[in-house]
Amino acid sequence: MIKDIQQEILKLKKENDICILAHSYVAHEIIEIADFTGDSYALSVKAKDAPQKTVIMVGVRFMAETVKILSPEKKVILANPGAGCAMADQMDRELISEVKKSYPDYKVVAYINTTASLKTICDVCVTSSSAVKIVKALPDKNILFIPDCNLGAYVAEQLPEKNIKLLQGGCPVHAAVSADEAIKAKKEHPNALLLVHPECKAEVVKLADYVGSTSGIMDFAGKSDCREFIIGTELSIAEHLQYQYPDKMFYYLSDKLICKNMRLNTLYDVYNAIVGRSGEEIILDGKTIADARKCIDEMIRLGG
């Protein structure tokens, strides 16, 4: 049954010149039919270079908006219109415009998990895989880092020469994991390495053997000589890794690591988006695209 739908999707996407981008958090059967999969940074760069005129994003809304900003001439469809990002929805343009008044000589660095509208008033975007590199490359010392205070704290720790101001925001999924859970998991699996996403709290990051983006974690686990890993990000990553490396063992850091938004995406959503039965076309006005693009282009320039 799954194979039949997958075959139909592969046929239809070829006939209709469609590129399917899937974030690494979506289900295995979607990853199998995607043209590109990866972390937020890889997807935004791939989207820019994809030759197809239509892109279906199987991920969350800010990712589809990023594709539209980078490729305004393309038709960009978010496979499941209900898939937002709890972090991206925490801070809007009005709030940050007010905050900026208190920090006039600060560069505003926005995690890519922000709305297109908010990006229009920020100086540069970063992703989890590029944040340290980009903040380091900025000539400015004073940085206002939004919205993820955990990723921001991780960047600040790596770059003590910078003066980084943080706001109280972040991913409720990753931030729910405690140091006690990490200590317990390490006790249960004494031979495993702990690989953690920087959206986790500093107390968890401190215990990790490796800290990185979703793709960074997957690459590290693949290349490592170690046979066992505790995965500190969405449960789907441990699942994908287990398929990819059946001779290694992958354990969940915490069963709280479930992103309900990402999990809204199904293989049927992809099929329905292709045949025009569902999905939402991302529409952004020209000024939002032009203003938001500046900080995404800056991210690609400094992070490339």
Return residues touching ligand SF4 (CB under 6 A): 60, 85-87, 113, 171, 173, 199, 234, 259, 261-262
Quote the least distance from Cβ 197 to ligand 13P, whole Å: 6
- 228-232 sheet: strands from edge to edge: 210-211, 193-196, 228-232, 249-252
Residue 236 interacting partner from ligand 13P, ligand SF4, none (CB closer than 5 to 8 Å by kind) = none
Of 67 and 262, nearer to ligand SF4 (C-beta) is: 262
Given 113, 115, 120, 236, the residue binding ligand 13P (CB under 6 A): 113
Quote the least distance from Cβ 196 to ligand SF4, whole Å: 13
Q: Which parts of 39-58 interact with ligand 13P (CB under 6 A)?
A: 39-40
Of 86 and 179, nearer to ligand SF4 (C-beta) is: 86
* Ramachandran assignment for 276, one of left (phi > 0), alpha (psi -120 to 50 degrees), beta (any other): left
Q: Is 114 in the site for ligand 13P (CB under 6 A)?
A: no
Instruction: State how far the Cα of 186 lies from the Cα of 177, in Å rounded to an integer.
Output: 14
User: Using CB atoms within 10 A of its CB, is residue 281 exposed (0-12), middle (13-18) or buried (19+)?
Assistant: middle
Q: Where does this chain touch ligand 13P (CB under 6 A) — which range of 123-131, 138-146, 159-167, 282-290? A: 123-131
* Ramachandran assignment for 6, one of left (phi > 0), alpha (psi -120 to 50 degrees), beta (any other): alpha
Residue 273 interacting partner from ligand SF4, ligand 13P, none (CB closer than 5 to 8 Å by kind) = none
Per the CB < 8 A criterion, the answer to whether 70 and 296 are in contact is yes
Of 60 and 274, nearer to ligand 13P (C-beta) is: 60
Q: Where does this chain touch ligand 13P (CB under 6 A) — which range of 14-22, 114-122, 124-132, 243-251? A: 124-132
Residue 90 interacting partner from ligand SF4, ligand 13P, none (CB closer than 5 to 8 Å by kind) = none
Q: Which parts of 214-253 interact with ligand 13P (CB under 6 A)?
A: 214
CB atoms under 10 Å from CB of 210, counted, come to 16
Convert 252-267 to b/e letters by CB count within 10 Å (16 or more is b). Answer: bbbeebebebbbbbbb
Of 54 and 198, nearer to ligand SF4 (C-beta) is: 198
Q: Is 148 in the site for ligand 13P (CB under 6 A)?
A: no
Given 199, 231, 270, 299, the residue binding ligand 13P (CB under 6 A): 199
Of 87 and 292, nearer to ligand SF4 (C-beta) is: 87
Q: Give the 3-state secondary structure of 230-288.
A: EEECCHHHHHHHHHHCCCCEEEECCCCCCCHHHHCCCHHHHHHHHCCCCCEECCCCHHH
Nearest alpha-carbon partner for 263 in 84, 114, 129? 84
